[in-house]
Structure 1
């Protein structure tokens, strides 16, 4: 029996992310993952029972790596709630997610594959829904202006902005993308008091 370890598995899944981003779903084979990870041929097939297993674990890993550092949440919790804080937070999201280019492109490939693979669709649906619900809960607990619909609209707007940035970066300049984030916050958050109301 092959000895499996968590570090090797993570390295293989990280390699799968790179292959997906570069080659697309059709290029994601066990052999391609082995080559990307720099391990002997046959290693990936010892860690993943079939291709769907590899796809599902790759999807989970992308979301794991996209999570913000817990210290960022602490910083936001401690800061005064105002327009500038929220604007910076949204720019931070676009920067963090867009900065993991391979992960986001791999995620787009996984979303397309999910239209044909029910197990992968279930995983991605649960993950995205869970993240969205967590964002809504955080927003409500923070007493920020806007409601659940506002969070969903920002989620959709910023995600497509990231897709545009990573796939067709010359459609909008960097400054235009930054202006769009600012405008989304301004328009979707509505009237924002200069200082938060005291509870």
Structure 2
């Protein structure tokens, strides 16, 4: 006869649904939650429900926001002549951490992947094109992942934009800082050569 507590098992199963969480980690998290005070557990649950209810997509760039227009799009100090196109809201956080990019963003909401049944119509491409009616935009930076899907998406979007007379650029990819050349694959080395800059 196996030892089982239904509520604990269900809590553990919910944690296990999170990305990167295995069975043992899920169990640890479940026991941690059980060790919380009733007030802390209630606040934790309410925070999840509130975030799910209040966070929506920005009506301009499709980023996550708790207001109709996100803080980046609302910031008058941002350079509106440049839009950095990314696949996911997490990519915006990565760019913002650099404190080097001052333009705006557009989130596609994924990448074109026929194998997974994701076509261009399932991404926020129409919304991007609608933003380009504004002649203020001079450059689109395609910052999708350097994968087959990322490259295909970047090429598809750039083909739609180029006829509008807007410059389309692609992020340079190459050797990471501290990387060793002999361990780099051919594509990474090719990208590093292609994206080289003058010293």
Kindly name which structure, 1 or 2, has the bigger radius of gyration based on alpha carbons. 2
In terms of fraction of residues, the more helix-rich structure is 1
Q: Give the TM-score normalised by the residue count of structure 1.
A: 0.29
Q: Give the TM-score normalised by the residue count of structure 2.
A: 0.29
In terms of fraction of residues, the more strand-rich structure is 2
